[in-house]
Structure 1
Amino acid sequence: MSGIRFTIVGDSQTGKTSWLSVLNGDGFKETHQSKRLEPFTKKIIVNKGEYELEICDTLGGKRNLEERIRIYRNTDIFIICFAINNMNSFKNVRTKWYPEIKYHKPNASIVLVCTKSDLKNKRILIDEIQELRRHYYFSHVGYCSALWNINVEEIFKDVLIKLCEVTTTKKPFYHCLFVRCKSN
């Protein structure tokens, strides 16, 4: 069994903790949670291999930077979340989250997750997401919904499949993947 540590970052109210609650089997939370989940493990089987993932949620506030930096040190793969209905969370992918991760862990592998894309009041256009994808060389697209529990685990499976392909082909792992996620 292989162990891989994922750290989830993003602005408050992006749906990341709701998504992780569903993944952890705790169900969807209707109300905003201003606290992070404790790290948890999740076993996932991909390509006949069993992986034990350690998943770490983080708080997005400035006062939580030192805690995030401690978590970053042992992270294998980062997931940056933004909400489809929140332009500031989308802008902060470029101005806050990507630079913060790359500063503290320059060779980090990063996955981008668009949450809440099942909402009707979308503020971010697909063209804007694709432009971000091209700018940072995101290479993978997937979909999930925390609210409906659709593909919640598949984001992690897709990343692991990509890692398996890289391992068997000896190609360099993309420094970024793009995963589009539906949640609350």
Structure 2
Amino acid sequence: MSATPNSPNTPSLGVSGPNTPATPSTPVPRIERPKSVKCVVVGDGAVGKVGKTCILHVYANNTFPEEYIPTVFENYSTSVIVEGKSVNLGLWDTADYDRLRPLSYPGTNVFLLCFSIIAPSSFENVTKKWIGEIRQFSGEHVPILLIGTKKDLGNDPEITEMLLSKGHAPITPAQGELLKKEIGAVKYMECSALHNVGVKEVFNEAIRTSLYGVTRRRIKATCSIL
């Protein structure tokens, strides 16, 4: 198809010739691409199960999985609005296999490092295993949120009695705060996947931390899934 010159009745496109006075053109609005956030969830599986897969399932589907779900949650992507801006949020679960798990780490923007409030071994493994692995494969710059899961069971009398009989006790918020400082995490938070308490807040904080960094993480931004 050949281009045809403008006729006298053809509207100008804002391009001037050598003898034509320049006419102001309307600036084309710049389209801002949505930012992307990769959020990886880590923590004990098997014996010290922290329920990280359930947390992801509840956030993605807004319901607790009553039936069996696979140990590893399929990677999930959704659009989230943060302070009026669109964000592509990618959620990554991690495998229990030590050789495979680090394959999920490259490109991570924020980690959720989880332990169960009623599983002291998972709390101990934050320093014994997880923080070292994260720093080894992702460096020192990626922010970490420390998450205490199964908050609803922390005050359960039967579970407390069972733990006390073994010389343990549920992990307290004060212990979580101390561990946060020890490992250099951005923040300590607690949640319950079973009752969907604090789950959305955990991921909202992860998004804000990734986008704005540590110094602005306390901005009261609203995050909503599209």
Give TM-score scaled by structure 1 length: 0.79
Q: Which has the larger radius of gyration?
A: 2
The answer to whether the aligner puts 1:39 opposite 2:75 as a matched pair is yes
2:165 aligned with 1:129? no
Which residue number corresponds to residue 196 of structure 2?
Answer: 149
Give, in angstroms, the shift of residue 72 of structure 1.
Answer: 0.6
Between the aligned partners of 1:133 and 1:46, the Cα distance in structure 2 is: 25
Distance 1:90 1:58 in 2: 18
The separation in 2 between residues aligned to 1:42 and 1:51, in whole angstroms, is 8
Moved over 3 A (4+): 30-34, 141-144, 162-166, 171-174
How many Å separate the matches in 2 of 1:153 and 1:54?
A: 15
**Residue 110 in 1 paired to residue 144 in 2?**
yes
User: 1:131-179 CA deviation, whole Å, 9 max, x = no partner?
Assistant: 212212334344432112233222121233344544xxxx7689xxxxx
Q: Is the 8 A contact 1:58 1:68 kept in 2?
A: yes
CA contact (8 A) 1:3 1:52 kept: yes
Judged with a 3 Å threshold, the aligned counterparts in structure 2 of structure 1 residues 51 and 71 are, in CA distance, closer, same or farther, namely same
Residue 125 of structure 1: how far off its partner (Å): 2.3
Structure 2: gaps of 5 or more residues: 1-33, 161-169, 218-226
Judge conservation of contact 1:14–1:82 (CA < 8 Å) in 2. Answer: yes
The answer to whether the aligner puts 1:11 opposite 2:47 as a matched pair is no
Question: Number of residues paired by the alignment?
Answer: 167
CA distance in 2, matches of 1:150, 1:4: 23
* Gap regions ≥5 residues in structure 1: 175-184
- Taking CA–CA contacts closer than 8 Å with sequence separation of 6 or more, which of the two structures ends up with the larger relative contact order? 1
